[in-house]
Amino acid sequence: MIKDLKTGVLLLATLTVLTGGLYPLLVTGVAQLAFSHRANGSLIVNNGQVLGSELIGQPFDGPQYFWGRLSATGTDAPNAPNASDAALQTASSGSNYGPSNPALLHVVQARVDALHAADPGNSSPIPVDLVTASGSGLDPHISVAAALYQVPRVARERGISEERVRQLVDRYTQGRQLGILGEPRVNVLELNLALDEHL
């Protein structure tokens, strides 16, 4: 019995060191060496200041910016239509509502109203990804259709031609993964940073 207990304790200690210490250190070391940018959160840094992550959607509500999907980032309530604190991208959580939840209709209608108020002359159909959250509530991308829907408003607010804004959307459109997976998409944070930098 004592022999079995010693064997069990020794095995527990060995596996704890291997799987709880050495293996995580090895994986972290390899990730830092081979994929440092991704391992550290795919952060976008400008002049030493973290502006956000390529992987987490951040809310924009200024009419001169492209708006992303409804996001669960920042300090506002989940699915808030006009979340205001893009700097708090690390405060994130899941927030998607199921189709039977009555709050979903309220959130969608609030976002539709906000889009119409920001661009009352735009009579085009609103792409669905501008009024709903993704499954995680953190998606940093919008569809190309959602970006193009916003081009007239952004161009007008910035006092530039729609063609220049459309060219920037084209430049920041990412294709399908491996050429076949998903749909073309636009990273909203990267596009807005490019707007501020170039236009």
- Assign 96 a pLDDT band (cuts: 50, 70, 90): low
Least trusted range by pLDDT, from 8-17, 34-43, 188-197 = 34-43
pTM for the model: 0.72
pLDDT at residue 55 in the model: 77
| pLDDT, tens digit, 9 for 90 and up, residues 79-90 | 343 434 444 444
With cut-offs at 50, 70 and 90, classify the pLDDT of residue 134: confident
Task: Count Cβ neighbours within 10 Å for each residue of 150-174 and write b for 16 or more, e otherwise.
Answer: bbbbbbbebeeeeeebbebbeebbe
Identify the pLDDT of residue 78.
41
Query: Does residue 44 have a pLDDT over 80?
Result: no
> Which range among 61-65, 160-164, 195-199 has the greatest average pLDDT?
160-164
